[in-house]
Amino acid sequence: MNFATGKGLTMVEAVKQVRESNVFGPLMVKMGDADAFVSGLTYDYPEVIRPALQIHHTASGAALAAGVLHHDR
């Protein structure tokens, strides 16, 4: 997935990825249609954070990015 340059995906591949909840949710936040994105425990952490970072990137000059993994019993 290459959101930075807009290259590397066919239309079919792009549609397939946008249908994944871990891509669609962060895209909704990016477009202003949602205030936040919360993913459930049915995904491994990298499957959640990777698309979010590819869509949102880090702030200019930031050396680190962080996410929160919370388990509630």
pLDDT value at residue 73? 74
Instruction: Judge whether residue 2 has pLDDT over 70.
Output: no
Q: Is the pLDDT of residue 72 over 80?
A: no
In whole angstroms, how large is the CA radius of gyration of the chain? 13
Report the pLDDT value the prediction gives residue 25, as an integer from 0 to 100. Answer: 93
34-60 pLDDT, tens per residue?
A: 999 888 778 888 888 889 888 988 888
pLDDT of residue 29: 94
Question: Which of 72, 67, 23, 27 lies closest to 45 in space, CA to CA?
Answer: 67
